[in-house]
Amino acid sequence: MARLFLISNRVAVPGAGGHPGGLEVALKATLRKHSCVWLGWSGEVHEKPRTRTITRGDNSYVIVDLTSEDFDEYYNGFANRVLWPIFHYRLDLAEFSRRDLSGYLRVNEHFADELAGMLEPDDIVWVHDYHLIPLAKALRARGLTNRIGFFLHIPLPPPEILTAMPNHERLIPSLCDYDLVGFQTHGDAANFARYLAKELGTPSHIPLRLGSGERAMRIGTFPVGIETREFTRLARRASKTSFARRVMASVPGTLMIGVDRLDYSKGITLRLEAYERFLAANPQWRGKITYLQITPKSRSTIKEYSEMEAAVNSAAGRINGAYSEANWAPVRYVNRPYSRAALSGLYAAARVGLVTPMRDGMNLVAKEYVAAQDPDDPGVLILSRFAGAADECREALLVNPYDPDAVAAAIARAMAMSWSERKARHSELYAALLRNDISKWGDKFLKALSPQDKKGPTALRDLLAPATGSAATGPTRPPATRQ
């Protein structure tokens, strides 16, 4: 029987500890339904790298060590310092080095060698995220003709930005070696189609047929969801725990929550600035609102991240210095991770969820916040229009995160929103989350990738046209702006 190979930068071996990352949660249903082999980096750096296989039930986990050179060039270098900023529209933060690109390609070749030794002709391969863009090309070069799909979890910028990346022509066209390339939003898919039309001269009026031989690449939109009902149940239980009760008892008045990794794409300093403006413009709310920002540190070895840590600390300190009273501080800034259960209880307790990334592939926090609300007395989601989640969460208060006055006005609006409007918005948002529950995400992608799927190749023309239709089979509509 055909096996399913999942390939990603990191592998989450069950029972190995740590908090489940977004990728693990997204793949959970797929790992349950299929017999999978999941291959990726072990997280360890050794001068003599090893490859180990761990078996858990029907699934195997193949974990590969990196050398310190691989780690510097592939992970810290090209993935984190070139692809991550550029794909998040931050050309100003990209630091390109040829050495890092060759390290990135080398690790992809190494993963391809490991895989080539394991694959049978009818096995299906599903590659995840920006660390592994050229993997299909490396596999095709080894003569493999398996069905290979790719899903990009982060945004894909328009060609005007992508083409500013040195050597983009060595990397982006290699996506054509996949049978299926999936994106979070129609906008990302359309950006890819525009890149192909512009850079490869692919005529936009004919079906796309690229790559080696007769293989035809297809492009799809598969927005990642959450386990909606499960998260709602978790939040209901968690809000009755002593942890949630103690937190609420310690908060004077209303709670507003932000939960993000410390990353420049999340817009945390701009968000604090917006809150500061809200406090300045709305003295009646001083002493009655507490903004809890939960931000575990990430990638602190990179300079921009440690600078950002200092900037967020200083903005939170400035606001508390300006507005605190003996019995109230406007900002609580917490630097540690919480369990999913504890987090769900905090979301449930918060009247406002403030999710304002400057650019985000999807943003699961926005969806988790909605799922955690009590439908009879729900809170209000304020969401950046530049998060992929904005395509589905059209009943959130959609804001431009670059405009702190507009975000401040949205906070004021959320705080004063009537019960009936909160309820009506929440019910629409919740229905959207149910429609696109994560349990179906893997099925939709794998169905589109399977050899039995008889749909023809994607017509670029369809992607370049204004979007209509539903998520996985067709494009989603761009969000409407409310304010």
| Residues contributing to the site for ligand ADP (CB under 6 A) | 19, 22, 259, 261, 294, 296, 337-338, 343, 362-365, 368
Which candidate in 360, 391, 426, 462 is catalytic?
A: 360
CB atoms within 10 A of CB 185: 27
Nearest approach in angstroms of CB 8 to ligand ADP is 13
Ramachandran sector of residue 353 (left: φ over 0; alpha: ψ -120 to 50; beta: rest): beta
DSSP 9-74: EE---TTS-SPPPHHHHHHHHHHHHS-EEEEEEEEEE-SS--EEEEEETTEEEEEEEE-HHHIIII
**289 strand-pairing partners:** 254
Nearest approach in angstroms of CB 448 to ligand ADP is 22
Cα-Cα-Cα-Cα dihedral sign, residues 127, 131, 133, 134: negative
153 noted as active-site residue: yes
| Closer of 158 and 296 to ligand ADP (Cβ) | 296
- The residues, ordered by sequence, that sit 6+ positions from 249 with a Cβ below 8 Å of its Cβ are none
Nearest approach in angstroms of CB 309 to ligand ADP is 14
Between vectors from CA 154 to CA 153 and to CA 159, what angle results, nearest 5°?
125
| Closer of 337 and 478 to ligand ADP (Cβ) | 337
Nearest approach in angstroms of CB 259 to ligand ADP is 5
110 noted as active-site residue: no
| Closer of 211 and 379 to ligand ADP (Cβ) | 379
Cα-Cα-Cα-Cα dihedral sign, residues 321, 325, 331, 333: positive
| Closer of 108 and 344 to ligand ADP (Cβ) | 344
Which candidate in 88, 153, 186, 426 is catalytic?
A: 153
| Closer of 202 and 295 to ligand ADP (Cβ) | 295
With H, G, I as helix, E, B as strand and everything else as coil, classify residue 184: coil
Nearest approach in angstroms of CB 339 to ligand ADP is 7
CA–CA gap between residue 336 and residue 309 (Å, rounded): 13
With H, G, I as helix, E, B as strand and everything else as coil, classify residue 434: helix
Catalytic residue positions, numbered: 153, 360
